């Protein structure tokens, strides 16, 4: 600021007074911005401190509540034993009474449980008991015996007698074991393919492979063309956006310059 002030006073040589005014205005704006930023930072720090304090208070309150709950759960706090003999004797009497009372309460609870169990059993027995209906005896009637009809006997056919073959007498000697022969399965002989047939099959395979390759190449080419078109569209859109941004920036700069000139002229007047 001091440098700029000196220049405005005319110490520098060869600088137009309008440029010095512009510089002074820019410095003033920058100072305002810095002051505003410092104020915002201070406000943020204050907020953080307040939050921390609130959290600490909440934690303390929670701890106090927990302590109170624990004391309630424990029940009556134990009395401090007195050092005197009378105090000790009184405490012993109280302890004896408490033990007796506890035993009586336990017995009562056990009796109540037993009564409940007995009642439940009785109810179950009642449910099981049901009156049985008496069955009426039915009179049995004698069935009449049916007379069997006599079947006629069929005449038996005379069987043909077959002549028995005479067995040949075996010669005495060493017995030979006869092995059973297994039937072998006949294997089908594969017909040998001629050279001409083999050549034809190879040609067909080659043709199929070539067709597949051509189809794949066509698809790749089509996909590449589509990708290139998409890229071109994206580039055009980006260029348009950039041009628009540049135009907007130029307009803003022109407006700023006009405002600064007006402010300078007004100050000169």
Measured CA to CA, the distance from residue 72 to residue 68 in angstroms comes to: 6
Number of domains in the chain: 1
Both tokens of residue 255?
A: 């407006």
pLDDT for residue 1: 43
DSSP assigned state of 77: P
For helices 195-268 and 17-74, the axis angle rounded to 10 degrees is 110
Residue 15 lies in a domain: yes
DSSP assigned state of 13: S
DSSP assigned state of 16: -
pLDDT for residue 2: 46
19-78 pLDDT, tens digit each: 777 788 888 888 899 999 999 999 998 888 888 888 888 888 887 777 776 666 555 555
216-244 pLDDT, tens digit each: 999 999 999 999 999 999 998 888 888 88
Chain center to CA of 146: 81
For Cα atoms 80, 83, 86, give the angle at the middle one, nearest 5 degrees: 100
Residue 16 lies in a domain: yes
The larger pLDDT score, comparing residue 89 to residue 80, is at: 89
Where residue 163 falls among pLDDT bands split at 50, 70, 90?
low
pLDDT for residue 209: 92
Measured CA to CA, the distance from residue 260 to residue 264 in angstroms comes to: 6
Could you tell me the residue range of the domain that residue 37 belongs to?
A: 1-49
pLDDT for residue 37: 92
For helices 17-74 and 2-9, the axis angle rounded to 10 degrees is 160
Residue 9 lies in a domain: yes
Measured CA to CA, the distance from residue 97 to residue 103 in angstroms comes to: 10
Q: Taking 50 as the threshold, does the pLDDT of residue 10 lie above it? A: no
pLDDT for residue 94: 86
Residue 34 lies in a domain: yes
Residue 136 lies in a domain: no
Residue 129 lies in a domain: no
Residue 12 lies in a domain: yes
- Classify 255 as helix, strand or coil: helix
The larger pLDDT score, comparing residue 11 to residue 137, is at: 137
Residue 61 lies in a domain: no
pLDDT for residue 62: 80
247-260 pLDDT, tens digit each: 888 888 888 888 88
Measured CA to CA, the distance from residue 108 to residue 104 in angstroms comes to: 6
Q: How many CB atoms lie within 10 A of CB 8?
A: 16
Kindly state the average pLDDT of the residues 143-159: 66
Q: How far is CA 113 from CA 73, 108, 109, 125, in A?
A: 26, 9, 6, 19
Residue percentage of the chain with pLDDT more than 70: 56
Measured CA to CA, the distance from residue 253 to residue 269 in angstroms comes to: 25
């Amino acid at each position: 600021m001091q440098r700029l002030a000196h220049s405005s006073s005319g110490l520098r040589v060869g600088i137009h007074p309008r440029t010095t005014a512009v510089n002074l205005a820019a410095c003033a704006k920058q100072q305002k911005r810095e002051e505003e930023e410092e104020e915002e930072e201070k406000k943020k720090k204050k907020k953080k401190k307040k939050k921390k304090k609130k959290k600490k208070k909440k934690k303390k309150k929670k701890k106090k509540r927990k302590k109170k709950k624990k004391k309630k759960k424990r029940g009556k706090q134990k009395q401090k034993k007195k050092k005197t003999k009378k105090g000790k004797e009184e405490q012993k009497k109280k302890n004896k009474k408490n033990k007796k009372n506890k035993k009586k309460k336990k017995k009562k609870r056990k009796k109540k449980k037993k009564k409940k169990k007995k009642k439940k059993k009785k109810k179950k027995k009642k449910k099981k008991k049901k009156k049985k209906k008496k069955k009426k005896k039915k009179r049995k009637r004698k069935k009449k015996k049916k007379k069997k009809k006599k079947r006629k006997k069929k005449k038996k056919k005379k069987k043909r007698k077959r002549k028995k073959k005479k067995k040949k007498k075996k010669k005495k000697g060493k017995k030979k074991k006869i092995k059973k022969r297994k039937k072998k399965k006949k294997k089908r002989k594969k017909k040998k393919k001629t050279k001409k047939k083999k050549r034809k099959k190879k040609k067909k395979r080659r043709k199929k492979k070539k067709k597949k390759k051509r189809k794949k190449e066509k698809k790749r080419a089509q996909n590449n063309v589509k990708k290139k078109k998409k890229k071109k569209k994206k580039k055009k859109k980006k260029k348009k956006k950039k041009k628009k941004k540049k135009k907007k920036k130029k307009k803003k700069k022109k407006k700023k310059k006009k405002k600064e000139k007006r402010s300078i002229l007004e100050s000169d007047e």
